[in-house]
Structure 1
Amino acid sequence: MGQPDDMLDDEYYPAYTMGRAAEIIGCSQDFLRRLGDAKLIDPYRSVGGHRRYSRYQIRLAARAREMCDQGTDMTAACRIIILEDQLEEALRRNEHHQHG
Structure 2
Amino acid sequence: MSAESSLDRLDDEDYPAYTMGRAAEILGTTPAFLRAIGEARLITPLRSEGGHRRYSRYQLKIAARARELVDQGTPVEAACRIVILEDQLEEAQRLNEELRNSHATPHHTTDA
Moved more, 31-40 or 58-67: 58-67
2:49 paired with 1:47: yes
AA aligned opposite 1:83: L
Alignment of structure 1 residues 13-52 onto 2, 5 Å = 13-52=15-54
Match of 2:107 in 1: none
* TM score, norm. by length of structure 2: 0.83
Percentage identity across aligned positions? 66
State the partner residue of 1:88: 90
What secondary structure, in the 3-state scheme, does the structure 1 residue paired with 2:29 have?
A: coil
TM-score, normalised via structure 1 length:
0.92
Offset of residue 98 of structure 1: 2.3
Q: Which amino acid aligns with 1:15?
A: A
Shift of 1:97: 2.3
Quote the offset at 1:73 in angstroms: 0.8
2:106 corresponds to:
none
Letter of the 2:67 partner, please give it.
R
For structure 1, the 5+ residue unaligned runs are none
Bigger relative contact order, structure 1 or 2, given CA contacts below 8 A and separation 6+? 1
Task: Tell me the distance in 2 between the aligned counterparts of 1:57 and 1:12.
Answer: 8
Structure 2 unaligned blocks of 5 or more? 103-112
Q: Which amino acid aligns with 1:94?
A: N
Match of 2:71 among 35, 51, 69: 69
| Higher gyration radius (CA) | 2
Distance in structure 1 (CA, Å) of the matches to 2:10 and 2:23: 15
Amino acid at match of 2:71: D
Alignment RMSD (CA, Å): 1.6
**1:87 Cα deviation from its structure 2 partner:** 0.7
